[in-house]
Amino acid sequence: MESKFDKNEHRGHSSNQPEFGEDSDMGKPVEILLIEDNPGDIRLTIEALKEGRVTNNMQLAKDGEEAMDLLHRRGRFTNAIRPDIIFLDLNLPKKDGREVLAEIKTDETLRSIPVVVLTMSKAEEDILKTYQQHANCYITKPIDMEQFITTMKQIEGFWLTIVKLPPRPKGD
């Protein structure tokens, strides 16, 4: 079954709680790019952020090549909105998440976008390498569903309410 994310549409979220995630200068929701191929993790991430306090639009890329096409607005992603933050899995098809991170952080137009690595890997080599490639943080995904949702809400609480994300370039 194809989700609306497969068509590069955005899913907005709103709640009755204060809009902590809205940029006070522009009044726009936080733009999130989720780069993830696991349908269960996609669903849990969407649900956790939907229940949160932050108004957001989420774009989804299910492999590394799709992620880079979206970030560079190529092919079917010509109308994609530049994300304010990226949630990146490392173990992706077509182009590995480590390669995606390296490309993002060496591209002058993309490197300022914070990248939160969300992965099952606990390998010290992965942790060290992603920080050397300038990942903004590294989080090992909990296996337990409730812990996963709790972790996503904590990520939201820090990255989308406390942290001041870099402004989008003019015209984005």
Tell me the domains of the chain and their CATH numbers. Answer: 4-162 (3.40.50.2300)
Would you give the distance in Å from CA 74 to the centre of its chain?
Answer: 18
Please state, in angstroms and rounded to a whole number, the distance separating the CA atoms of residues 16 and 100. Answer: 36
pLDDT digits (tens, 9 = 90+) for 147-158: 888 888 888 888
The answer to whether the CB of 75 falls within 8 A of the CB of 67 is: no
Determine phi and psi for 140, rounding to 5 degrees: -85, 125
Give tens-digit pLDDT for 33-91. 999 999 988 988 888 888 766 777 889 999 999 999 999 999 999 999 899 999 999 99
Handedness of CA 14, 44, 151, 89 (dihedral sign): negative
Residue 171 burial by CB count (10 A; 0-12/13-18/19+): exposed, middle or buried?
exposed
